[in-house]
């Protein structure tokens, strides 16, 4: 099958997206991760734009990349200037990257209204710029900015630019949909009309303003393009660039094109999440292939299909792209979902009394406002109870909290707790800013000497959601608590009309989950 080269512009066009920023160090680490994954070209930035962009090339010029060519980006020379004196082209030469991209105008309205020159001078700008960089020994990829809009108005002019760039020595002609407004039927028609046999390799670069960037990229390959540009997670200016995390598996797994990444497809999910981590962004859950929800099944009838024949419910198996299946708990779950969770404890069927009991408890609790999709640790405790495997950490006799507030000083809560654990009675005291911290401190005060594991865990997040705000102060609240021991994280839930009671339930579940399930260190 035809070889398609994958060109990643996360570090250049990706950073033109709202909220996407990387430090120099991040950029270098990301470049190595992209290279490891099998990306062919990595567009590292615009060296003229800033010191940091130029430094990226200085540093990467001295480093080894196994698969990828590091590529610097800039535009053609300015009108009326010599290529050898153009600061942008000089910055590209100084970048010392083996390949460079130069972007040139390919829409007459841009030539006359934006760079304010003639079509003849624009042609000379393109020719001089490509020739200079080729003379300098660089592979030159030529990006035709607004190609599709330009072609729709003046196809003859667009063809002349493509032919000129080919004869000047460009290795690839990248047809850019810079404002992202082109639709799939136009892409197929236009690329099919090009005299590809007379031209350098055709590449494409789509933005996602009509939501068609991925479809446009795939159709371009089907119509003859063999170089595809895009970004990881689809980040980029305005609505983003074509998402490589979708394009790559579509080309390699669905259409069987030959990609350098073809035999490393199981690295894709990690790549997406690693780069999102660097950008400090939580990636879209429902991103195809790599999203956390991409292989998540919530409806009971769908979880039932997964148990019987997963290939009838999932278009591919998630592990092909390094992703994982999730069976989500909710009031929409059926017994198959319960069985899937219980199967680590033995073989259960829809008729097992434990399955039926837990199914009924789940529906009842979800009806009361509990939500286990984001609090699987609380569900695990329900499951241990249904299976007779639950060990209570303690039994509460009573607790007592007092909150003090003095004018001009922050409030403070003190509390005492009386409880029984493994047949013995204990008392603990705590002080905190609020009641939840105070209860946590009091339980630990009472029990840590006897249960030192409590020192290994801490609460890491606390969230409250009002379930029926129309009931004002009588509204029910749902509290989620996240906990961690530094290696594993777990979430628990509590629901009540009283926020302290809801917090208490989630807090006790957190400690009991760890008590019941932790591996002894």
Ligand X SMILES: CC(=O)SCCNC(=O)CCNC(=O)[C@H](O)C(C)(C)COP(=O)(O)OP(=O)(O)OC[C@H]1O[C@@H](n2cnc3c(N)ncnc32)[C@H](O)[C@@H]1OP(=O)(O)O
Is there a contact between 42 and 71 (Cβ–Cβ < 8 Å)? Answer: yes
Least distance between ligand CC(=O)C(=O)O and beta carbon 146 (Å): 7
Least distance between ligand CC(=O)C(=O)O and beta carbon 261 (Å): 22
Question: Is there binding between residue 444 and ligand CC(=O)C(=O)O (CB under 6 A)?
Answer: no
Question: Is there binding between residue 145 and ligand CC(=O)C(=O)O (CB under 6 A)?
Answer: yes
Is there a contact between 170 and 200 (Cβ–Cβ < 8 Å)? Answer: yes
Partner that binds at residue 105, options ligand X, ligand CC(=O)C(=O)O, none, CB closer than 5 to 8 Å by kind: ligand X
Rounded Cα–Cα distance for residues 422 and 393 (Å): 8
Rounded Cα–Cα distance for residues 60 and 95 (Å): 10
Question: Is there binding between residue 341 and ligand CC(=O)C(=O)O (CB under 6 A)?
Answer: no
Least distance between ligand CC(=O)C(=O)O and beta carbon 307 (Å): 46
Least distance between ligand X and beta carbon 6 (Å): 19
Is there a contact between 160 and 122 (Cβ–Cβ < 8 Å)? Answer: no
Question: Is there binding between residue 76 and ligand CC(=O)C(=O)O (CB under 6 A)?
Answer: no
Is there a contact between 466 and 496 (Cβ–Cβ < 8 Å)? Answer: no
Rounded Cα–Cα distance for residues 520 and 38 (Å): 40
Q: Which of 25, 115, 46, 50 minimizes the C-alpha distance to 78?
A: 115
Question: Is there binding between residue 440 and ligand CC(=O)C(=O)O (CB under 6 A)?
Answer: no
**DSSP conformation class of 331:** T
Cα-to-chain-centroid distance, residue 430: 41
Length of the chain: 521
Question: Is there binding between residue 103 and ligand X (CB under 6 A)?
Answer: yes
CB-based contacts of 250-257 (< 8 A; 24+ apart in sequence): 250/214, 250/218, 251/4, 251/218, 251/221, 253/316, 253/320, 253/321, 255/1, 255/218, 255/221, 255/222, 256/1, 257/1, 257/2, 257/3, 257/4, 257/221
Question: Is there binding between residue 103 and ligand CC(=O)C(=O)O (CB under 6 A)?
Answer: yes
Question: Is there binding between residue 178 and ligand X (CB under 6 A)?
Answer: yes
Partner that binds at residue 32, options ligand X, ligand CC(=O)C(=O)O, none, CB closer than 5 to 8 Å by kind: none
- Please give the size of the binding site for ligand X, defined by CB under 6 A: 14
Partner that binds at residue 104, options ligand X, ligand CC(=O)C(=O)O, none, CB closer than 5 to 8 Å by kind: ligand X
Phi, psi of 461 (to 5 degrees): -160, 155
Partner that binds at residue 205, options ligand CC(=O)C(=O)O, ligand X, none, CB closer than 5 to 8 Å by kind: ligand CC(=O)C(=O)O
Among residues 68, 70, 100, 176, the one that binds ligand CC(=O)C(=O)O under rule CB under 6 A: 176
Question: Is there binding between residue 48 and ligand X (CB under 6 A)?
Answer: yes
> What single string gives the DSSP state of each residue in 416-462?
EEEEEETTEEEEEEEEESSHHHHHHHHHHHHHTTT-GGGGG-EEEEE
Question: Is there binding between residue 514 and ligand X (CB under 6 A)?
Answer: no
Question: Is there binding between residue 205 and ligand CC(=O)C(=O)O (CB under 6 A)?
Answer: yes
Least distance between ligand CC(=O)C(=O)O and beta carbon 7 (Å): 11
- Please give the size of the binding site for ligand CC(=O)C(=O)O, defined by CB under 6 A: 8
Among residues 145, 354, 373, 440, the one that binds ligand X under rule CB under 6 A: 145
The angle formed by the CA atoms of residues 409, 432 and 518, to the nearest 5 degrees, is 160
Is there a contact between 322 and 268 (Cβ–Cβ < 8 Å)? Answer: yes
Question: Is there binding between residue 149 and ligand X (CB under 6 A)?
Answer: no
């Amino acid at each position: 099958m035809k070889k398609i080269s994958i060109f990643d512009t996360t570090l250049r066009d990706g950073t033109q997206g709202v909220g996407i920023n990387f430090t120099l160090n991040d950029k270098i680490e990301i470049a190595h991760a992209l290279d490891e994954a099998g990306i062919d070209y990595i567009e590292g930035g615009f060296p003229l734009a800033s010191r940091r962009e130029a430094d990226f090339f200085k540093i990467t010029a001295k480093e080894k990349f196994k698969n990828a060519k590091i590529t610097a980006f800039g535009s053609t020379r300015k009108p009326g200037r010599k290529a050898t004196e153009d600061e942008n082209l000089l910055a590209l030469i100084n970048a010392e990257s083996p390949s460079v991209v130069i972007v040139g105008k390919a829409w007459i309205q841009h030539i006359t209204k934006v760079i304010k020159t003639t079509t003849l001078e624009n042609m000379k700008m393109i020719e001089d710029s490509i020739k200079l960089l080729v003379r300098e020994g660089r592979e030159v990829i030529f990006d035709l900015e607004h190609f599709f809009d330009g072609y729709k108005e003046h196809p003859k002019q667009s063809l002349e630019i493509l032919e000129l760039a080919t004869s000047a020595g460009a290795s690839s002609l990248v047809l850019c949909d810079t404002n992202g407004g082109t639709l799939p039927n136009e892409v197929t028609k236009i690329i099919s009309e090009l005299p590809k046999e007379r031209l350098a390799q055709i590449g494409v670069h789509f933005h996602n303003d009509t939501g068609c960037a991925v479809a446009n990229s795939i159709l371009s390959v089907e119509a003859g393009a063999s170089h595809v540009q895009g970004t990881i997670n689809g980040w980029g200016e305005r609505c983003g660039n074509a998402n490589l995390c979708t394009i790559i598996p579509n080309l390699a797994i669905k259409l069987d094109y030959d990609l350098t990444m073809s035999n490393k497809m199981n690295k894709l999910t990690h790549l997406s999440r690693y780069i999102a981590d660097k950008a400090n962004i939580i990636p879209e859950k429902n991103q195809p292939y790599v999203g956390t929800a991409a292989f998540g099944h919530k409806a009971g009838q769908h979880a039932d299909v997964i148990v019987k024949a997963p290939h009838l419910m999932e278009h591919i198996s998630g592990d092909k792209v390094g992703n994982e299946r999730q069976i989500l708990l909710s009031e929409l779950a059926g017994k198959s979902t319960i069985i899937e969770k219980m199967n680590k404890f033995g073989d259960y069927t829809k008729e097992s009394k434990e399955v039926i009991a837990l199914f009924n408890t789940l529906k009842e609790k979800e009806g009361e406002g509990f939500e286990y999709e984001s609090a699987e640790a609380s569900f695990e405790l329900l499951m241990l109870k249904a299976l007779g495997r639950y060990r209570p950490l303690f039994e509460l006799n009573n607790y007592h909290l007092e909150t003090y507030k003095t004018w001009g000083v922050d409030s403070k809560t003190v509390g005492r707790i009386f409880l029984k654990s493994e047949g013995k009675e204990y008392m603990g005291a705590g002080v905190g800013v609020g009641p939840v911290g105070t209860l946590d401190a009091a339980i630990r005060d009472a029990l840590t000497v006897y249960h030192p594991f409590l020192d290994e865990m801490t609460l890491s997040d606390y969230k409250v959601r009002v379930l029926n705000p129309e009931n004002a102060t009588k509204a029910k609240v749902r509290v989620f608590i996240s906990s961690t021991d530094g290696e594993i994280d777990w979430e628990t839930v509590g629901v009540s009309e009283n926020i302290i009671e809801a917090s208490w339930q989630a807090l006790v579940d957190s400690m009991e989950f760890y008590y019941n399930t932790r591996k002894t260190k």
